[in-house]
Structure 1
Amino acid sequence: MICIPIRRKTYKSALETFIMAQKKADVIEVWFDEIKDLTDENLSKLFKTKKVPVLYKYQDGKNFERIIQFKPEFIDFDLNSSKTLINKARKISPKSKIIVSNHDFDKTPETKDLLKVLKQMHQKGADICKIATYANKISDSIRMLSLLSQQNSSTIMICMGKEGRITRTTGHLFGNYLMYASLTPRDRTAEGQLTVDQLTEILNDY
């Protein structure tokens, strides 16, 4: 499944992008906590236009109570989030799938350390584990794909950077639950991220 992230500062811009992205995405990730003029009315309007599943990327939590009431299909919590918070989300929106994520913007840790991170994610109650690291060399990406292929539960493993692009274009072959792609080049939320048109063109060749 292709997931398009939406990162906007105003509700108007977020809604416009949300509507456009639904034409090309299987899932829409919305960075709600960065929308400065988000209101209950705005949230209601946005969710009423929803045609594909929504992924709420939890950040500072200032909108958590309001957004969770709309029962987004996915909620992404950082690994540092408390288990109490994650359990609260489950109680209010039991059908939402919980993604527990961890990012390393400098390197790809050793495989044994990545395994420890996956274990911690499961302990937090993750339905889906997501690890994103920075690939300094192509072998980092190969290790990530190898580890991904060994997982028996829903997992997302991505490498950022030029050397990580292979994980974005072939990850689905190794079991990636979601593949992230931006709507346009200026909408990229991570280094090495392809646009949805670029990714779709590549996937059509498989």
Structure 2
Amino acid sequence: MAEIVKVRDVKIGEGLPKICVSLIGKTLTEIKEEAFYLNNVNVDLVEWRVDFFDQCLNLDDVDSALKEIREVIGNTPLLFTFRTANEGGEKDITIDEYVTLYKHAIRSNYIDLLDIELFQEKNEVVEMVKYAKGNQVVVIISNHDFAKTPTKEEILHRLKMAEQLGADIPKIAVMPKSEKDVLLLLEATLEGRSSVDCPIVTMSMGGKGSISRLSGELFGSSITFGAAKSASAPGQIPLEDLKQVLHVIHHSL
């Protein structure tokens, strides 16, 4: 059985998939408004998608935003993510800028989890993982394939690779071209649940893949991403609908 990852009062890998909703404001004012909204709708995790923030490379402005977010969300775990353009994000930065930003966020003591992209430079990934864990920050290592759904073997390989690099939680998101691709992702998730020794996060994106965002408790994905005011990725389900379906499935199992 995969190890449970505890972040503040949230146990990832146990019971219902934990619901994460992203802050995607471009300005500090927008980010604060989103954070206040999420604070009133009871989510398990809050993700700050830093690549949406206009001042994401100004470390003082990042500090100010992190401080404001933490003050608003209180004890809710905060996931810090810069999604690069290659993996569907809003901006691209150099690897040096990426590492500097991530280490700065880790040192801030405001974040609880960090999302590192699997296919960044390997030495830098290892360095960031070590730095995060040395500061008690939980590491998600992720991969997003917007072009296709890889083979089941490749999906499992990437999850295992993330685990071997030190991920507390490996994550993969893929794009389906057909219903069979969605089934492939779900099958890989089911196998990954028993072959990876930590909680995993998987999803099939877009409308076709929406079932993968709902069925994590059955197949083995431990976090699902929902949409509050706006979606941060294709196929995200409105928060209240997501909660309702997750509870229906939970009580049916």
The answer to whether the superposition gives a TM-score over 0.5 is yes
Using CA pairs below 8 Å that are at least 6 residues apart, which structure has the higher relative contact order?
A: 2
Q: CA deviation at 1:171?
A: 2.0
Relative to structure 1, the CA distance from residue 171 to residue 36 in structure 2 (aligned partners, 3 Å threshold; closer, same or farther) is same
Please list the CA deviations of residues 17-50 of structure 1 after superposition, one character each: whole Å capped at 9, or x if unmatched: 0121132311001012432342534432321222
- Give the residue type in structure 1 aligned to 2:66: L
Q: Percent identity?
A: 26
Q: Flag structure 2 segments of 5+ consecutive residues without an equivalent.
A: 1-17, 56-60, 84-92
Q: CA deviation at 1:137?
A: 1.2
Distance 2:225 2:62 in 1: 27
Residue in structure 2 matching 1:73, options 112, 132, 141: 112
Task: Give the corresponding residue for 1:157.
Answer: 202
Q: Is the contact made by 2:145 and 2:174 (CA closer than 8 Å) also made in structure 1?
A: yes
Task: Give the corresponding residue for 2:188.
Answer: 147
Task: Give the corresponding residue for 1:45.
Answer: 68
CA RMSD of aligned residues (A): 1.8
Q: CA deviation at 1:71?
A: 4.5
Distance 2:103 2:159 in 1: 27
Residue in structure 2 matching 1:83, options 126, 133, 144: 126
- Give the residue type in structure 2 aligned to 1:64: Y
Please list the CA deviations of residues 116-143 of structure 1 after superposition, one character each: whole Å capped at 9, or x if unmatched: 2122111211110101000111121112
Q: Secondary structure at the match of 2:166?
A: coil
Distance 1:5 1:146 in 2: 27
Q: Is the contact made by 2:20 and 2:45 (CA closer than 8 Å) also made in structure 1?
A: yes
Alignment coverage as a number of residue pairs? 202
Please list the CA deviations of residues 63-93 of structure 1 after superposition, one character each: whole Å capped at 9, or x if unmatched: 33432122422111100232112212222x2
The within-5 A match list for 1:167-186 is: 167-184=212-229
Distance 2:82 2:50 in 1: 8
Residue in structure 2 matching 1:29, options 32, 47, 61: 47
Residue in structure 2 matching 1:201, options 229, 232, 244: 244
Q: Flag structure 1 segments of 5+ consecutive residues without an equivalent.
A: none
> Is 1:110 paired with 2:141?
no
Distance 2:247 2:163 in 1: 33
Task: Give the corresponding residue for 2:36.
Answer: 19
